[in-house]
Amino acid sequence: MEPSSTSAIVEALTRAIVEHRLQPGTKLAEQKLADHFGVSRTLVRQALFQMAQNRLVTLEPARGAFVSTPSVEEARQVFAVRRMLETEMTRGFVRTCTPARLKALRAHVAREKAAVGSDDPNSRAELLGDFHVRMAELMGNEVLAQMLGDLISRCALITLMYQSASAATHSHQEHADIVAALAARDEDRAVLLMQAHLEHVEASLTFDRKRPVSDLAVALAH
């Protein structure tokens, strides 16, 4: 890690959240993080402030920084925003679809399938979320890709807190179905499949779960 950069700290913490290694409510002690990354507490503080801007971290006066714990209402709002953005993104992808973009998206879905088949929960979670960001990237819309990346990071917290343990994930197959509709240039079907996919993920959430806990050192030892 470059000692002068906070970006590596932000990336490592965000990845630990997205891969469900850092649990909602985990205290992010500045000194522990500074020791772990071999940097000053000032750089750690800057990284935590940056993550707080993206709502992944909550800064509490006199208590410190914690991995955010999204409320039920916030969870519903995040999915509502994703449906708005991704409906139009799907329409745009169909209208600007090229063989190269489809090939890249199919390659991503193939990696998802391999991760699901290997029962690797970390890779699976990362790839399933990245599918949506990848669509935006392939369209050449970096602003949308960044916005979706931020939303999907928040969704990782939401699913970790609220997703039912017994709910089987059908996300990979739904992604494959979306790609098939994109390849057929069937805009209406692609949009309906994307909307249904996001609704299925939200419907799998159980909002009466107890908040999970985690240990910072264990989460970052990955």
Query: Contact 93/187 with Cβ under 8 angstroms?
Result: no
Flag whether the pTM goes above 0.75.
no
The burial of 55, by beta-carbon neighbours within 10 Å (0-12 exposed, 13-18 middle, 19 or more buried), is given as middle
Domain 7-69: which CATH number of 1.10.390.10, 3.40.50.300, 3.20.20.210, 1.10.10.10: 1.10.10.10
Beta-carbon contacts of 35 under 8 Å, excluding residues fewer than 6 positions away, are none
> Which CATH fold topology does 72-203 show?
Four Helix Bundle (Hemerythrin (Met), subunit A) (1.20.120)
Print pLDDT tens along the chain (222 aa). Answer: 454 488 899 989 988 887 778 888 899 999 999 999 999 999 999 999 999 987 889 999 989 999 998 888 988 999 999 999 999 999 999 999 999 999 999 999 999 888 877 766 667 777 888 999 999 999 999 999 999 998 988 887 787 777 654 443 578 899 999 999 999 999 999 999 999 999 988 888 877 655 554 566 666 765
Q: What would the two tokens of residue 45 be?
A: 């503080």
Sequence spans of domains, the chain: 7-69, 72-203
